[in-house]
A and B are shown apart, each in its own frame.
Chain A
Amino acid sequence: MKVWTFALSAGVLLAQHSFTRADIEDGSRLYSNTCAACHGANGDRVSGVDLMHGRFRRAATDDGVAAIIQKGIPGTAMPPHALTDFQAGSIVAYLRSVAAEAGSVSGTGDVARGKAIFEGKGACQTCHSVRNSGSLVGPDLTDIGAIRRAPQLERSLLDPDGEILAQNRTYRVVTREGTVITGRLLNHDVFTIQLMDAQGPRSFQKANLKESGFVEKSPMPSYQGKLSAQELADLVSYLVSLKGIQTQ
Chain B
Amino acid sequence: MIRRTLLLVLIAGSMFAQVSFERILNAAKEPQNWLTYSGGVQSQRHTGLTQITPDNVKNLEQQWVFQARSLEKFEATPLVVDGVMYTVQAPNDIVALDAVSGRVYWVYAYIPSPAARPCCGMINRGLAILGDTLFMGTVDAHLIAVNAKSGRPIWDAKVANAESGYALTHAPLVVKDKVIVGTAGGEYGIRGFIAAYDVKTGKEAWRFYTIPGPGEPGNQTWAGDSWKTGGGSVWVTGSYDPELNLTYWGIGNPGPDWNGDSRPGDNLYSDSVVALDPDTGKLKWYYQFSPHDEFDYDSVQVPVLAEMQWKGSQRKVMMWANRNGMFYVIDRTSGEFLQGKPFAKVNWLTGFDEKGRPMRAPGKTPSTEGTLIYPGNQGATNWYSPSYSPRTGLFYIPTWENTSSIYFKSPVEYVEGRQYTGTFPRMTVSFRGNIQNQITEDEGYGAVHAMDPKTGERKWEFKMADVTESGILTTATDVLFVGGREGNFFALNARNGSMLWKAALGGIIANGTISYSVNGRQYIAVAAGNSLFTFALRQ
Interface residues of A (CB under 8 A from B): 26, 30, 33-34, 80-82, 129, 131-132, 136, 140, 142, 175-177, 179, 181, 186-189, 191-192, 194, 196, 199-205, 207-208, 244-248
A207 closest partner in B (C-beta): B8
Chain B: minimal CB distance from A177 (Å): 7
- Of residues A203, A204, A246, which shows the largest number of chain B Cβ atoms within 10 Å of its Cβ? A203
Q: Are B9 and A203 in contact (CB under 8 A)?
A: no
- Please state if B8 and A248 are interface contacts (CB–CB under 8 Å): no
A189 to B100, CA, bound (A): 14
Q: Which residues of A contact B56 (CB under 8 A)?
A: none
Shortest Cβ distance from B298 into chain A, in angstroms? 28
Known: A186-B106, A200-B16; 11 extra A-B contacts, CB below 8 A, are A30-B111, A129-B150, A136-B150, A191-B101, A192-B103, A194-B105, A201-B106, A205-B8, A208-B8, A246-B156, A248-B202
A contact face: mostly helix, strand, loop, or mixed: mixed
Bound form: Cα–Cα A30–B148 in Å: 23
Instruction: Out of B9, B106, B154, name the residue touching A131 (CB < 8 Å).
Output: B154
Given contacts A175-B9, A175-B12, A194-B98, contact A140 B150 (CB under 8 A): yes
Q: For this complex, into which size category does the number of interface residues on chain B fall?
A: 35 or more
CB distance from A237 to the nearest CB of B (A): 22
A201 in contact with B156 (CB, 8 Å): no
Assuming the A-B contacts A201-B149, A205-B11, A248-B202, are A187 and B103 also in contact, with contact meaning beta carbons closer than 8 angstroms in the complex? yes
Residues in chain B near residue A82, CB distance under 8 A: 114
Is B215 interfacial (CB-CB < 8 Å)? no
B203 to chain A, nearest CB (A): 8
Across the interface, do B104 and A203 meet the contact criterion of CB distance under 8 Å? no
Instruction: Judge whether A199 and B15 touch: CB under 8 Å.
Output: yes
In the bound complex, what is the Cα–Cα distance between A246 and B103 (angstroms)? 31
Known contacts: A82-B114, A136-B149. The answer to whether A245 contacts B105 by CB under 8 A is: no
> How far is B104's CA from A199's CA once the two chains are assembled, in angstroms?
17
Q: Does B13 contact A (CB under 8 A)?
A: yes
Question: B9 touches which one: A142, A176, A189, A199 (CB < 8 A)?
Answer: A176
With A and B bound together, what is the CA distance between A200 and B98 in angstroms? 12
Q: For A189, what are the chain B residues with a Cβ–Cβ distance below 8 Å?
A: 101, 103
Check if B158 sits within 8 Å of A248, measured CB to CB. yes
CB of B330 closer than 8 Å to a CB of A: no
Interface residues of B in 1-35 (CB under 8 A from A): 5, 8-9, 11-16
Q: Tell whether B51 is near chain A: CB-to-CB under 8 Å.
A: no
**B residues less than 8 Å from A246 (CB atoms):** 156
Q: Which residues of B contact A26 (CB under 8 A)?
A: 109
CB neighbours of A244 from chain B (8 A):
153
**10 A–B contact pairs at CB < 8 A?**
A30-B111, A129-B147, A142-B153, A179-B12, A194-B104, A199-B149, A200-B16, A200-B149, A201-B105, A201-B149
What residues of chain B lie closer than 8 Å to A203, measured between beta carbons?
Answer: 11-12, 14, 83, 98, 100-101, 103, 105
> Is B344 positioned at the interface, with any CB of A under 8 Å from its CB?
no
B58 CB-CB contact with A under 8 Å: no
Q: Are A208 and B101 in contact (CB under 8 A)?
A: no
In the complex, whether B464 has a CB less than 8 A from a CB of chain A is: no
Smallest CB gap from A173: residue in B? B12
Chain B positions 97-130 with a Cβ under 8 Å from a chain A Cβ: 98, 100-101, 103-106, 109, 111, 114
Residues of B within 8 A of A187 (CB): 103-105
| Contact between A194 and B103, CB atoms less than 8 A apart | yes
Select B157's contact among A136, A192, A201, A247, beta carbons within 8 Å: A247
Report if B152 contacts A (CB, 8 A): yes
Q: Which of B5, B12, B114, B202 sits near A202, CB closer than 8 Å?
A: B12
The 9 lowest CB-CB distance pairs between A and B, nearest first, are: A200-B149, A82-B114, A203-B98, A201-B105, A208-B8, A140-B152, A132-B154, A200-B16, A205-B8
Question: What's the Cα separation between A201 and B98 when bound, in Å?
Answer: 9
Are B156 and A199 in contact, with the CB atoms below 8 A?
no
Docked CA distance A248–B156 (Å) = 6
- B182-213 residues at the A interface, CB under 8 angstroms: 202-203
Whether A247 lies near B156 (C-beta < 8 A) is yes
Instruction: List the B residue with the shortest CB-CB distance to A80.
Output: B114
Interface assignment of B142: CB less than 8 Å from any CB of chain A = yes
B12 touches A208 (CB 8 A): yes
B residues near A181, Cβ cutoff 8 Å: 12
- What are the residues of chain B within 8 A of A199 when measuring CB–CB? 15-16, 149
Assess whether B98 is in contact with A192, with CB atoms less than 8 Å apart: yes
A186 to B14, CA, bound (A): 15
* Most chain B CB atoms below 10 A, which of A30, A179, A188, A202: A202
B residues within 8 A CB of A248? 155-158, 202-203
Q: Assess whether A208 is in contact with B150, with CB atoms less than 8 Å apart.
A: no
- Interfacial chain A residues near B98, Cβ < 8 Å: 192, 194, 201, 203
* 0/1 string, B127-161, CB within 8 A of A gives 1: 00000000000000010000111101111111000
B152: A residues at CB distance < 8 A? 129, 132, 140, 142
Give A68 Cβ to nearest chain B Cβ, in Å.
16
Which residues of B sit under 8 angstroms from A30, Cβ to Cβ?
111
CB of B96 within 8 Å of the partner chain: yes
**Nearest CB on A from B131, distance (A):** 11
A132 to B114 alpha-carbon distance, docked (Å): 28
Docked Cα-Cα span, A30 to B84, in Å, equals: 28
B112 CB → nearest A CB, Å: 9
CA distance A191 to B12 in the complex (A): 13
- A177-B150 contact in complex given A81-B114, A203-B14, C-beta closer than 8 Å: no
Residues of A within 8 A of B106 (CB): 186, 196, 201
How many whole Å from A199's CB to the nearest CB in chain B?
6
Q: Which residues of A contact B12 (CB under 8 A)?
A: 175, 179, 181, 202-205, 208
Which interface residue of A81, A189, A200 has the most chain B CB atoms within 10 A? A200
Cβ of A91 to closest chain B Cβ, rounded Å: 12
- Closest B-chain residue to A181, C-beta based? B12
**In the complex, what distance in Å separates the CA atom of A81 from the CA atom of B100?**
39
